[in-house]
Amino acid sequence: MFVHEHLMQAVYFAPRGKRRLIFLGTNIQQRYLSPEDRLIGFVGVAGAGKSLLIRGMFPGLELTNDDDGINIRPLPLMEDAERGHFRYHTYHLDVRFESAFTQPWKIAEAIQKATAKGHRVVVEHFDLIYPQLGVNAEVLIGVGEEVIVTRPTVFGPDPQSIADIVFESIKFRRMAHSAEDITSMILEEMGLTKPEVHSDIKHGFVLELPEKPDIDLDLVEQRVLDLIDADLPICFADDGHIRVGQMLYPCTGPRIHMRRTGEIKGFLLLKEFRFDPIAQLYTIAGIVGEEMMPTRSIDLFGGRNANS
């Protein structure tokens, strides 16, 4: 009896950084995907990390478009559906991109033909094609602040319900990532080595340091807030860097940010260093999001805790 047969919903923090997203994709593939699954749907805004998850889940799969702007034309799935001869076991399709060239009903027809002949189709922006397709994905994955993995039944969840969740929550992931990088910048300016390892909490981030720094966290928080108040532009520079105002800064997830520092709302640092005895590291935690205010403390699993 396989685990996937009992799957209702699995939820993971959506990590930041190419390597961690690919690793999560590999984990999802091993835990929840069956060799017999033919229709895999992904839901989430552009830049959320869907393509990197797909790379982890399906190593070697040729994506029909990617973040580097490389697009395959004609689309192999559409071409093979027209010929009536499918050359590959697994096909990739970005509905949002392909809809610029092909009518939705024709895309749905190609998916149906491929899956009927035993081939697998991995569909990004599955919510856009579901009304024409009329059948749900066997595995449906939403990518926002969290990665939601579901195996829908006839009772749901439907793609739009997953889309509603991840479209709303992605702002927290972008705010947290932007605040994380700005906090790292400030820590470096104060003489610390750039934190190389970071983990995730709800509506926030954790920076990990090898030694307990001799710094004032109230001052760190204020300097981050000053940069937020300055409303500086945040933009992609290259695959390993962002630009905050005129400052170039290394980043493992340069596409997952707010457009301006002023869009980061409700930033707060936990005013203590917590020691992880297993990893032997000191941690600094911060959270974002006005919805959780007012507050006096931070619950690292649930965000802010107003009852402390």
pLDDT digits (tens, 9 = 90+) for 71-107: 667 889 999 999 999 999 999 999 998 998 899 999 9
Q: Which residues make Cβ contacts (< 8 Å) with residue 110, sequence separation at least 6?
A: 77, 78, 81
pTM of the model: 0.85
Task: Using CB atoms within 10 Å of the CB of residue 184, give its burial: 0 to 12 exposed, 13 to 18 middle, 19+ buried.
Answer: buried
> Does residue 187 register a pLDDT over 80?
yes
Percent pLDDT > 90 in the chain is 65
CB 167 within 8 A of CB 128: no
pLDDT at residue 47, as a whole number: 84
Percent pLDDT > 70 in the chain is 88
Mean pLDDT, the chain, integer = 87
What's the average model confidence in pLDDT over 11-28? 90
The distance of Cα 90 from the centroid of its chain, to the nearest Å, equals: 23
62 falls in which pLDDT band (50, 70, 90)? confident
- Tracing tokens 């973040």 back to the chain, one arrives at 67
- Cα separation, 45 vs 173, whole angstroms: 12
The distance of Cα 6 from the centroid of its chain, to the nearest Å, equals: 25
> Does residue 198 register a pLDDT over 90?
no
The CA–CA distances, whole Å, from 134 to 83, 111, 130 equal 23, 11, 6
Tell me the domains of the chain and their CATH numbers: 3-157 (3.40.50), 170-305 (3.30.980.10)
What confidence tens digit (pLDDT) does each residue in 104-152 have? 999 999 999 999 999 999 999 999 999 999 899 999 999 999 999 999 9
245-249's contacts with Cβ under 8 Å and 24+ in sequence apart are 247/185, 249/181, 249/184, 249/185
19 falls in which pLDDT band (50, 70, 90)? confident
- Cα separation, 8 vs 285, whole angstroms: 31
What is the token pair recorded at 26?
């590999």
pLDDT at residue 300, as a whole number: 47
pLDDT at residue 306, as a whole number: 39
Count of residues making up the chain: 308
pLDDT at residue 6, as a whole number: 59
> Does residue 258 register a pLDDT over 80?
yes
Within 10 A of 80 (CB to CB), how many other CB atoms are there?
Answer: 20
CA angle 26, 27, 30 (to 5 degrees): 85
3-12, 60-69, 142-151, 277-286: range with highest mean pLDDT: 142-151
